[in-house]
């Protein structure tokens, strides 16, 4: 389903499984970050050590290492923080020429030096959910708790479940909350302005696509049905386009990919049909690129026979979709991340049929950037590992995107435990390259990754492969892991 100041509604990451029997897997829809969670961010785990390294009549200025933003009034180098008796709120700057009072009349030269070796990027176990699940949703709510709902259990191919639970980042604990009115997986979730979460569509326990929708009240801890969509759909997308409207687009209706789209008005609680997409698709991505005009980029997904490369733009002011530049590679089950600092969308990984499905379904490592100004996609650096059904999370300062897990199956369908990826990679917007970013304790796909602030996120559930009674199985898992920068 996405945190400086939230100007409008946002979506959440949601990995989903593909329709029964289609032999594919789903991808996360765009996860909007709320950087507002980072307001009041302190400089954590860093130390600024001031040392007199030289004196002279002319004095000198400090020479901090590479600059990194810190709290207002105090700038610290990367890997450094305010310590040694200095407060981050003291209005001191490492580059302001500040020095302790010298014993002599000479002015000392001050330099900031690292106090410790930077901590490697790591994943740390964070307990277990009450229910194993994959293809679920997880969304950070206004009350700072994470809502986890639905999914498939006890295996990735198992029936949808209705249970829900809450994760408290402050205590690191999971608590069961009210269950959804309808069991569902492959659903979408968005936060509304009235402290409620809108849950739409998905697949029920019998494998049928759903038109129903429900609201989770974070104050009461309960779900209630709201009006239904006009079209049953699963593996669709949901994203806010205006103060009162959320766009629901595409999906799988149980038989075919659909092109229809509709708007949900949270004030009236009613869904209204809007213009249809030019291309029927599911397991695609939807990214808000212009909150003023309510413009949304729809990219990739699966069409009638294969993944597609076509992209289109929805404009809320006209209620219509128009074709924009196509991606360099067809892909579904990929991720799309809005990079507000550069006004670009990062498209990563995914899968498509190899040689028109004569070989099978394979994963890709390529990534591309969509430039809002030009309406075109350009290739950027590729991942070190091809993958789909992974997650992509924008980290603080908006310059890096963390890619976690997913799977990389042999095109002929062969699987083994190593197909479920534990690796993670960081994309750096400045360099256009991916670098290794730690390893999960448990390889998984169909999981969620929810940003908690302070460059920390939690990975929840998903599916993996194991040997059960001597045969391969794909159980859903309940474990959680925290990634720290």
Say if 355 falls within a structural domain. yes
Which residue, 91, 115, 139, sits at the end of a domain?
Answer: 115
The CATH number of whichever domain residue 322 belongs to comes to 2.120.10.80
On whether both 293 and 145 belong to a single domain, the answer is yes
Say if 3 falls within a structural domain. no
SS (H, E, C) the chain: CCCCCCCCCEECCECCECCCCCCCECCCECCCCCHHHHCCCCCCCCCEEEEEEEEECCCCCCCCCCEECCCCCCCEECCCCECCCCCCCCCCCCCCCCCCCCCCCCEEEEEEECCCCCCCCEEEEEEECCCCCECCEEEECCCCCEEEECCECCECCCCECCCEEEEECCCCEEEEECCCCCCCECCEEEECCCCEEEEECCECCCCCECCCEEEEECCCCEEEEECCCCCCCECCEEEECCCCEEEEECCECCCCECCCEEEEECCCCEEEEECCCCCCCECCEEEEEECCCCEEEEECCECCCCECCCEEEEECCCCEEEEECCCCCCCECCEEEEECCCCEEEEECCEEEECCCCCEEEECCCEEEEECCCCEEEEECCCCCCCECCEEEECHHHCEEEEECCECCCCCCCCCHHHECCEEEEEECCCCEEEEEEECCCCCECCEEEEEECCEEEEECCECCEEECCEEECEECCEEEEEEC
Residuewise pLDDT in 10s, the chain (485 residues):
333 333 333 333 333 333 333 333 333 333 333 333 333 333 333 332 323 233 333 333 333 333 333 333 333 333 323 333 323 333 323 333 333 333 334 443 433 333 333 445 789 999 999 999 999 999 999 999 999 999 999 999 999 999 999 999 999 999 999 999 999 999 999 999 999 999 999 999 999 999 999 999 999 999 999 999 999 999 999 999 987 899 999 999 999 999 999 999 999 999 999 999 999 999 999 999 999 999 999 999 999 889 999 999 999 999 999 999 999 999 999 999 999 999 999 999 999 987 665 556 889 999 999 999 999 999 999 999 999 999 999 997 788 999 999 999 765 555 555 789 999 999 999 999 999 999 999 999 999 999 998 879 999 999 998 877 887 789 999 999 999 87
Which residue, 115, 146, 166, sits at the end of a domain?
Answer: 115
On whether both 97 and 196 belong to a single domain, the answer is no
On whether both 72 and 18 belong to a single domain, the answer is no
Say if 2 falls within a structural domain. no
On whether both 312 and 350 belong to a single domain, the answer is yes
On whether both 291 and 276 belong to a single domain, the answer is yes
On whether both 375 and 473 belong to a single domain, the answer is yes
Say if 5 falls within a structural domain. no
On whether both 22 and 59 belong to a single domain, the answer is no
On whether both 76 and 133 belong to a single domain, the answer is no
On whether both 191 and 78 belong to a single domain, the answer is no
Which residue, 115, 137, 158, sits at the end of a domain?
Answer: 115
Q: Which domain holds residue 258?
A: 10-39+120-484
With a CB cutoff of 8 Å and minimum separation 6, the contacts of 428 are: 399, 400, 434, 435
Separation of alpha carbons 385 and 59, rounded Å = 51
On whether both 231 and 347 belong to a single domain, the answer is yes
Say if 1 falls within a structural domain. no
On whether both 31 and 52 belong to a single domain, the answer is no
Q: Quick check: helix, strand or coil at residue 109?
A: strand
Structurally, the chain folds into a number of domains equal to 2
On whether both 184 and 259 belong to a single domain, the answer is yes
Q: What is the pLDDT of residues 56-99, one digit of tens each?
A: 333 333 333 333 333 333 333 333 233 333 233 333 233 333 33
Say if 4 falls within a structural domain. no
């Amino acid at each position: 389903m996405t945190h400086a100041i939230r100007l409008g509604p946002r979506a959440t990451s949601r990995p989903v499984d593909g329709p029964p029997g289609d032999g594919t897997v789903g991808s996360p829809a765009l996860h909007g970050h709320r950087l507002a969670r980072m307001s009041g961010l302190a400089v954590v785990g860093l130390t600024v050590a001031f040392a007199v390294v030289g004196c002279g009549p002319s004095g000198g200025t400090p020479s901090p290492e590479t600059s990194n933003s810190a709290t207002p009034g105090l700038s610290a180098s990367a890997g450094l923080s305010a310590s040694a008796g200095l407060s981050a709120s003291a209005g001191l700057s490492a580059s302001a020429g500040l020095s302790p009072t010298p014993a002599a009349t000479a002015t000392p030269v001050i330099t900031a030096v690292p106090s410790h070796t930077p901590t490697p990027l790591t994943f740390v176990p964070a307990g277990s959910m009450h229910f194993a699940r994959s293809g679920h949703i997880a969304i950070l709510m206004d009350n700072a708790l994470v809502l986890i709902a639905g999914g498939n259990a006890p295996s990735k191919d198992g029936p949808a479940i209705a249970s829900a639970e809450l994760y408290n980042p402050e205590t690191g604990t999971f608590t069961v909350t009210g269950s959804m009115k309808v069991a569902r997986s492959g659903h979408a979730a968005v936060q509304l302005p009235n402290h409620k979460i809108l849950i739409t569509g998905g697949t029920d326990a019998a494998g049928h696509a759903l038109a129903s929708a429900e609201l989770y009240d974070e104050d009461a801890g309960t779900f209630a049905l709201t009006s239904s969509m006009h079209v049953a759909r699963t593996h669709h997308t949901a994203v806010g386009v205006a103060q009162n409207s959320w766009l629901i687009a595409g999906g799988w209706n149980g038989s075919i990919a659909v092109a229809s789209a509709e708007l949900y008005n949270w004030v009236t609680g009613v869904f209204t049909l809007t213009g249809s997409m030019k291309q029927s698709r599911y397991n695609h991505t939807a990214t808000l690129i212009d909150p003023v005009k309510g413009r949304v980029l729809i990219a990739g997904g699966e069409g009638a026979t294969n993944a597609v490369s076509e992209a289109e733009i929805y404009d809320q002011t006209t209620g219509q979709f128009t074709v924009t530049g196509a991606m360099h590679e067809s892909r579904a089950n990929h991720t799309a991340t809005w990079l507000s600092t550069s006004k670009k969308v990062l498209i990563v990984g995914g899968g498509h049929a190899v040689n028109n499905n004569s070989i099978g379904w394979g994963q890709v490592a390529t990534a591309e950037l969509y430039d809002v100004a030009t309406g075109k996609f350009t290739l950027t650096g590729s991942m070190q590992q091809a993958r789909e059904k992974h997650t992509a999370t924008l980290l603080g300062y908006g310059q890096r995107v963390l890619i976690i897990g997913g799977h990389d199956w042999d095109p002929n369908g062969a699987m083994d435990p190593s197909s479920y990826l534990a690796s993670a990679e960081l994309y750096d917007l400045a360099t256009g390259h991916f670098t290794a970013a730690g390893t999960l304790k448990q390889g998984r796909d169909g999981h969620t990754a929810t940003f908690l602030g302070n460059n920390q996120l939690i990975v929840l559930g998903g599916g993996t492969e194991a040997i059960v009674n001597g045969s391969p199985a794909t159980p859903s898992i309940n474990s959680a892991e925290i990634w720290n920068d």
